Amino acid sequence: MSPMGTLQNIILIGFMGSGKTTTGKELAKLLNRPFLDLDEFIEEACGMKIAKIFKEGGEHFFRKKESQAIDLLESKKNSVISTGGGVWQNEENRSKLLRMGLCVWLKVSPEKALKRIEANLSQRPLLAASENPLQTMTGLLMERETDYSKAHVIVVTNDKNPKQVAEEIAAIINLDGPFDLRSMQK
Ligand code: S3P
């Protein structure tokens, strides 16, 4: 059993292209825990891809679905959960996620993030229509960074692959022993 205990979730937060989903899968495999992706959960619940949800209902509707998804997952235990890049901006979502488990911010530069996602920008509604995706990402990241930094733990992912990032998170958990999330609330 990991010294962290078996009940807490590990929740990956951060910008598009930070590697939350790929790292989450690696980490779940490494720790032998179930993996759950919040965006996939929403897509299944709505029967539509994220891009279509934005197109049909707009961003406001999608944000409502994100908050509802967190409520539905609040009793989850022992899982690795990756989240969409904007879910953390809502204060209520953030405090629920901070209570649900150890929140890890996968920090990435806009340049690296763009490299990772440029092949499928059409699936990212916030970037799809941008004439200058790097500029859009840089601005969005600047707006969000203060909130992202409220995570329990920060791991820089720039020059690492998902397996390396997963191993780094696993090592942090093992080094620090059981986390007392109450004392880590900000
Ligand atoms: C969003 C990020 C996306 C997805 C949606 C909105 C955001 O998830 O939830 O397009 O606001 O940053 P990823 O971070 O997994 O790309």
pLDDT at residue 175, as a whole number: 65
pLDDT band for 178, please (50, 70, 90 cuts).
low
- Residue 93 and residue 95: Cα distance in Å, rounded? 6
125 CB under 6 A from ligand 1?
Answer: yes
Over residues 129-174, the pLDDT tens digits come to: 999 999 999 999 999 999 999 999 999 999 999 999 999 999 988 8
Mean per-residue pLDDT, 74-98: 96
pLDDT band for 2, please (50, 70, 90 cuts).
very low
CA angle 150, 156, 158 (to 5 degrees): 140
* pTM given for the model: 0.92
For residue 184, pLDDT beyond 80: no
126 CB under 6 A from ligand 1?
Answer: yes
DSSP conformation letters of 16-60: TTS-HHHHHHHHHHHHT--EEEHHHHHHHHHTS-HHHHHHHHHHH
Over residues 101-119, the pLDDT tens digits come to: 999 999 999 999 999 999 9
Contact predicate 117/124, CB 8 Å: yes
Tell me, in angstroms, the distance from the centre of ligand 1 to residue 86's CA.
6
84 CB under 6 A from ligand 1?
Answer: yes
% the chain with pLDDT above 90:
87
The ligand 1 atom at the shortest distance from the C-alpha of residue 42 is: 9
Length of the chain: 186
Mean per-residue pLDDT, 163-186: 71
pLDDT band for 179, please (50, 70, 90 cuts).
low
For residue 27, pLDDT beyond 90: yes
